[in-house]
Amino acid sequence: MTLFTRKQIYLDNAATTKIDERVLKEMIPYLSKNFGNPSSLYKLGKESRIAIENSRKKISDFLKCKQDEIIFTSGATESNNLAIKGLALAHPEKKHIITSQIEHSSVLLVCKEMERLGYKVDYISVDKSGILNLQELKNKITKDTLLVSIMHVNNEIGTIQPIEEIGKVCHQNNILFHVDATQSFGKIKIDLTNINLLSASAHKLNGPKGTGLIYIKDLTKIRPMLNGGSQERKLRAGTENVAGIVGFGKAIELAKEKMKNNEKVKKLRDFMIDEILKIKGSYLNGSREKRIFNNANFRFDGVEGEAILIMLDQENIAVSTGSACSSSSLKPSYVLTSMGLKPEETHSSLRISLGYENTKKEINFAIKKIKSSVEKIRKISGEFKC
């Protein structure tokens, strides 16, 4: 069976997810006959406005927050930028930000930009299991601290950070708390009690790309990043992506049911971990216990992760590497180096993220091909000795 006839086995759901057919069906009318601008006062525009507000209600009900606390954006990257820069603009009297060493680049690069603008930023370390050092965070807090920005689930290793405890610390010290929930929203429970801002993206939960949100707790003072119209409570100018927002609402509606299958996916993931760790010289990167149910990140002695990825791709299996390999100059994963791994160890990493549609048959086939790929690569290189 060739690459072109074998069914795709998709195991890179942390990168993006396949849009659910029911989501697409809900969106199509707003890409064709219901095309009105939601700011227009005539019927066609009002229908678009109603559709947006219906989605806002679905999402606010899911998060158990007020409808007007949900602001739609183009995705989590925009939401992360709005959270950090928008708070900084609204609170110029405070010049200190705390984040972690393993945040998504849309947080880290914004923080680097804030440093160039005169802000002090502390990057909290993580332990060898990929969990943030809470005591270090507490020690870094000062009277000048404006914001703590910590992701809920890491996009690379899937570790779950103690956001409830961090939120309590922030609340006790009158510090604003932003959570990048891109990898957890619609998958696991999120308690908003001590969270001021939260970012999420539709395409991580079988919704459309190009649509995201930021939750902004009532009375949290923030300045817009885009100037223009008065859409989205005057915090996000620009004509709304009606079809995308409708799709986001449907995706979160479906997520309520899909979350009931989390344990089923976790069992498949755990089976895969157990089987792959039978390979000599293989390791699991990050905590096994404090990890989202569908993520597994491995490394293999004497094997380049990219080489495994290419061999699996030839078998129509889609996974991701643990290093930034998009350029000719390979850079080690900053997430894995922050955990204490050597550069060569980070380059031998492979990220696998399951979806609700994956089957035991698919996982068995993927395990078989990962084992054979590692074996072939080691034979070719001749570097690994059992």
- pLDDT tens per residue across span 171-184: 999 999 999 999 99
Distance CA 261, CA 342 (A): 36
- Choosing from 65, 170, 325, 386, which is the catalytic residue? 325
The confidence score (pLDDT) of residue 329 equals: 42
**Within the chain, which residue ranges are assigned CATH 3.90.1150.10?**
9-18+261-381
Q: In terms of Cα–Cα distance, which of 231, 232, 235, 208 is closest to 221?
A: 235
List the one residue out of 140, 267, 253, 270 whose CA is nearest residue 205.
253
> pLDDT class for 326, splitting at 50, 70, 90?
very low
| Pairing, β 145-151 against β 176-180 | parallel
The closest of 86, 288, 72, 107 to 200, measured between CA atoms, is 72
Instruction: Return the pLDDT at 1.
Output: 43
Active site residue 111: no
Give the model confidence (pLDDT) of 32-83 as tens digits: 999 999 988 999 999 999 999 999 999 999 999 999 999 999 999 999 999 9
Residue 308, Cβ neighbours under 10 Å: how many? 24
pLDDT of residue 328: 38
Phi-psi region of 363 (alpha: psi -120 to 50; beta: other; left: phi over 0): alpha
The per-residue pLDDT for range 338-384, each reduced to its tens digit, is 999 999 999 999 999 999 999 999 999 999 999 999 999 999 877 66
Q: What confidence score (pLDDT) does residue 316 get?
A: 97
Residues 6+ apart with CB under 8 A from 158: 14, 183, 286, 291, 292, 294, 295, 296, 297, 353
The least confident of 38-47, 58-67, 137-146, 280-289 is 38-47
Class of domain 21-257: alpha beta
Residue 176 in tokens? 């604003």
Domain with CATH 3.40.640.10 in the chain: 21-257
Burial string for 185-220 (b: 16+ CB within 10 Å, else e) reads: bbbbebebebbbbbbbbbbbbbbbbebbbbbbbeeb
At residue 198, φ and ψ (nearest 5 deg) are: -145, 135
Beta bridge partners of residue 318, listed in sequence order: 10
Rg (alpha carbons) of the chain, rounded to whole number: 22
Whether 187 shows a pLDDT value over 60: the answer reads yes
Nearest CA to 268 among 361, 162, 378? Answer: 361
- Greatest alpha-carbon pair distance for the chain in Å reads 73
pLDDT of residue 382: 72
Answer for the pair 132, 338: CB distance below 8 angstroms, yes or no: no
CA nearest 84: which of 126, 146, 133? 146
C-alpha distances (whole Å) from 132 to each of 138, 158, 228, 249, 297 are: 11, 13, 39, 32, 18
CATH top-level class of 9-18+261-381: alpha beta
**Beta strands in the chain, from DSSP E residues, in sequence order:** 9-10, 70-73, 96-100, 120-124, 145-151, 176-180, 197-201, 212-216, 282-284, 295-300, 317-318, 320-321, 349-353
User: What is the distance between the terminal CA atoms of the chain, rounded to a whole angstrom?
Assistant: 32
Per-residue H/E/C for 115-166: HHCCCEEEEECECCCCCECHHHHHHHCCCCEEEEEEECECCCCCEECCHHHH
